[in-house]
Amino acid sequence: MAVEMHTFSMRKEDGIVKGRFQLLKYKNTQVLYKIHNGCVFFEFPNWCFDHTGNKYDELYQEWYQNEKNEYEMFVLNYLKAIKKLDEMDTFKGEIFIEKTFQTRKSDPRLYDIVIEFEHSLKNAMFSFAPMLNSYGIETKLNIPINSQGDLLTCALKLGDFVKKETIQRMWDPFRSKTKYRLELLHMLR
């Protein structure tokens, strides 16, 4: 048996890794998960109904009995792949997109820099607000989620999962290459 998902997401809330996915072979039944002490706990969301009002609970139970172990390994391996970024010394790639904008004239200027990396990351978008000394980074890992070759589509807030030093190492090679280098010089130092 292989992992067959329609969608997959992972986030961190209050220090707990959580997410959801849809089971492709089980009529896109939703599954929620949490990771606690290295173990994955699955749960069927009580708000899942189909158009006739019947719950997908039976499909969830069938999946849980037959295939949950493969999905547990997928979730843990995905988290492990993210954590491997902390072990990397250097990051290579190219700046793909650079833009700056303000939502309103009274708001601080924001900068988005998208970098295509030469390793497991598809790309990463660094978002900076220099006047607030604030930043964020979102990325997607190139991990297939089913036999149809679909890749993960969910953006991951990388700052929730890796060390600040890792994000600094990711940004350093591009700091002087961006056309906004003077505005962003002090960011992630």
pLDDT digits (tens, 9 = 90+) for 27-77: 889 999 999 999 999 998 866 555 554 567 888 999 999 999 999 999 999
| Final residue of a structural domain among 51, 84, 117 | 84
**How many separate domains does the chain show?**
2
| Final residue of a structural domain among 84, 99, 129 | 84
- Is residue 58 located within the same domain as residue 114? no
**pTM of the model as a whole:** 0.84
pLDDT digits (tens, 9 = 90+) for 47-56: 655 555 456 7
- Is residue 31 located within the same domain as residue 92? no
Beta strands in 14-165 (DSSP E): 16-23, 29-36, 39-43, 93-101, 110-117, 121-129, 134-141, 156-157
| Final residue of a structural domain among 84, 118, 144 | 84
For 73, the domain range is 5-84
- Is residue 33 located within the same domain as residue 93? no
Question: Does 149 reside within a domain?
Answer: yes
- Is residue 72 located within the same domain as residue 121? no
